[in-house]
Amino acid sequence: MVEETKGNSTAAAKYFDYIIKVMRENEEFLRKNAKETCDEVVELMNDAIDYVMHAVKRKESRKDYVNRSMAFFLHHILMPFSYAIYVDLLVGNIPACFMELRLMLESLAKCYFADLKYPDRTFFQERLELLEAEDLSMSKLMKELGKELGFENDFVALWGKLSRDWIHTKGIMDRVVSQVIEKSDIPPWALTLPMNYKENDLDAVDELRKYISQFRTLLTTTMEKYQQKFDF
């Protein structure tokens, strides 16, 4: 039993070392071949830091933390998942990056409307539960937010692309089949993790850059509107 435990421990340590090795190699590869994507991911992390710092510096920060759905979004969605995108990008887990981005987009819309529709409720969880009870489809909520902020279909269009292309089984299947047919190669994220990037993966990496850039624009506009409307 001792030998078995030691063996497992050694194997785990070797795997951990391998993860770090691949992450370093991927970071070098991305900096050389996809610097704009790396920069966009880092800027998203910086956005999260800036918004959270603004929230915690407010005199009402403790009250906000309990009351406001948007405070929950900033602390517990935007901050951790923006960092998670960076980590998943380095290990080659591209689908997870898109999943995390969609979660941030959905949460942004829900938290904005929860505060807008139920300002008399003093606990953010209750606000969000009341919004969920309305049973609005996510696409409708995205369309409403676009109209509210003057972006028309930008929110729902980004949400639709993320959902269709990277979240559902069909989207992942089509990605794998397409790369096999067009490039005679299986994407590394469809095999095991971590995995080193290759030239054939740069299209997906650049797609992530484009969607993060779009999200950051929508995030900035939403937060500006929220700050004006709610004196936040």
Q: What is the three-class DSSP state of 136?
A: coil
Q: What is the pLDDT of residues 53-82, one digit of tens each?
A: 999 999 999 999 999 999 999 999 999 999
User: Residue holding tokens 């030998």?
Assistant: 3
C-alpha Rg value of the chain to the nearest Å: 20
Say how far apart CA 96 and CA 88 lie, in whole Å.
7
- In terms of residue numbers, what domain contains 189? 2-230
Q: Which of 22, 37, 27, 17 is nearest to 195 (CA)?
A: 22
| 172-203 pLDDT per residue, tens | 777 777 777 777 667 767 677 898 999 989 99
Confidence (pLDDT) at 13? 87
**SS3 breakdown of the chain: % helix, strand, coil, rounded to 5?**
85, 0, 15
**Which positions of the chain have pLDDT values less than 70?**
1-8, 184-185, 188, 190
Helices (H) and strands (E) in the chain, counts: 11, 0
User: Residue 223: its pLDDT value, please?
Assistant: 96
d(CA 184, CA 107): 37
Q: Are 222 and 149 in contact (CB under 8 A)?
A: yes
Label residue 37 exposed, middle or buried (CB < 10 Å: 0-12, 13-18, 19+). Answer: buried
Count structural domains, the chain.
Answer: 1
Half-sphere exposure of 137 (CA within 13 A, CB side): 6
Whether 224 and 60 have beta carbons less than 8 Å apart is answered as: no
- Quick count: other Cβ atoms within 10 Å of Cβ 127? 26
* pLDDT for 172: 73
The reported pLDDT for the residue numbered 2 is 38
At 150 the pLDDT is 86
- With both helix axes pointing from N to C terminus, report the angle between 79-91 and 94-117 in degrees, rounded to the nearest 10: 170
Q: How far apart are the first and last CA of the chain?
A: 58
What is the predicted pLDDT for the residue at 4?
A: 46
pLDDT value of residue 173: 76
- Placement of tokens 């606000």 in the chain: 127
